[in-house]
């Protein structure tokens, strides 16, 4: 499996219902809006964790990580607040800050998240940062990585053989990772279909509202990306290599009305203090493309 180019590439419906009571109506609307992910998945949630852990080891050998208590703690607190409302399997969500200047973040199956320092330095509010993180958590909770891997591996190996491999009890055999490895990590876990990206936007905005972050900040972040694309395209090249254009995504979020569920709960920390600390840190070492 070749991972040398990871550093460059990483990077809603409203039903009208009778109002029985204010609280009951809000709860019913929230359940109606919560996204549900389709797609066939032969992997178990436990295998998501196994695959994600193996991929995380390789990622952390390839990319420079920032070992900063305040930045890690700050982003970790945002992840902890959002992941309470993620739904899906009970994954142990964990995050690390990558010493990379590009505006980007990515996630691996089973609860592993990575946030570029360039993203933290570019956002204008904690809500905008939470919007990106919520989108990545949604990919994990909706299990998009292993759903995509199932589809790709089935095409390569045949559904019957894939079922036999994934059904083995010998988790140390390496065959599960081998199936995904044959697809390439970027293809399997890091570049999703437009349907999956739309689902992650919807689930992420819903998650933000429930966690006390303004879902409209996801839309303003997309506005920021569009502006950066015009003025400094190199900063967002990673993001656009693995994500659809932000224009329609911002419009759909604004039209969906998720802000109707939002109740501000304040910030978990000081974004500005973390940004100042990151600004003082040296840039990460450049990584070879091979």
Q: What's this model's pTM, rounded to 2 decimal places?
A: 0.77
Q: Which of 13, 21, 89, 100 is nearest to 50 (CA)?
A: 89
Is residue 132, in this structure, part of any structural domain at all? yes
Contacts of 85 by beta carbon, 8 Å cutoff, 6+ apart: 206, 207, 210, 211
Is residue 135, in this structure, part of any structural domain at all? yes
Residue 192 phi/psi, 5° resolution? Answer: -100, 160
Is residue 18, in this structure, part of any structural domain at all? no
Q: 151: domain range?
A: 6-11+28-279
* Region of residue 125 (left: phi > 0; alpha: psi -120 to 50; beta: else): beta
Mean local confidence (pLDDT), 215-238: 83
Q: Please give the pLDDT value at position 170.
A: 45
Q: Please give the pLDDT value at position 164.
A: 53
Instruction: List Cα–Cα distances, 84 to 158, 210, 270, in angstroms.
Output: 37, 9, 21
Contacts of 277 by beta carbon, 8 Å cutoff, 6+ apart: 68, 70, 71
Is residue 290, in this structure, part of any structural domain at all? no
Statement: residue 128 has pLDDT above 60: yes
H or E segment and range at residue 106: strand 105-108
Is residue 101, in this structure, part of any structural domain at all? yes
Mean local confidence (pLDDT), 135-153: 89
Is residue 288, in this structure, part of any structural domain at all? no
Tell me the average pLDDT of the chain. 77
Domain tally for the chain? 1
Is residue 285, in this structure, part of any structural domain at all? no
Q: What percent of the chain has pLDDT over 90?
A: 49
């Amino acid at each position: 499996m070749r991972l040398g180019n990871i550093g460059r590439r990483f990077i809603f419906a409203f039903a009208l219902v009778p109002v029985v009571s204010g609280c009951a109506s809000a709860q019913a609307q929230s359940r109606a809006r919560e996204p549900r992910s389709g797609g066939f998945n032969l992997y178990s949630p436990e295998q998501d964790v196994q695959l994600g852990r193996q991929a995380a080891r390789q990622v952390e050998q390839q990319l420079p990580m920032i070992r900063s208590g305040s930045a890690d703690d700050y982003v970790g607190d945002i992840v902890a607040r959002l992941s309470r409302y993620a739904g899906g399997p009970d994954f142990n969500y964990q995050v690390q800050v990558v010493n990379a200047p590009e505006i980007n973040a990515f996630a691996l199956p089973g609860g592993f998240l990575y946030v570029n320092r360039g993203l933290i330095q570019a956002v204008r509010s904690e809500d905008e940062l939470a919007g990106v993180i919520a989108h990545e958590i949604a990919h994990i909770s909706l299990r998009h990585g292993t759903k995509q891997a199932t589809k790709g591996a089935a095409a390569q190996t045949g559904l019957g053989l894939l079922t036999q491999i994934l059904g083995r009890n010998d988790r140390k055999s390496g065959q599960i990772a081998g199936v995904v490895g044959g697809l390439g990590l970027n293809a399997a876990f890091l570049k999703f279909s437009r349907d999956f990206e739309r689902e992650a936007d919807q689930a992420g905005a819903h998650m933000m509202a429930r966690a006390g972050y303004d879902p409209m900040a996801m839309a303003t972040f997309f506005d920021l990306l569009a502006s950066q694309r015009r003025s400094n395209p190199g900063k967002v090249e990673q993001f656009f290599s693995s994500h659809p254009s932000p224009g329609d995504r911002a419009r759909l979020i604004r039209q969906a009305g998720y802000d109707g569920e939002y109740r501000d709960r304040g910030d978990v920390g000081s974004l500005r203090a973390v940004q100042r600390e990151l600004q003082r840190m040296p840039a990460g070492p450049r990584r070879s493309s091979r």
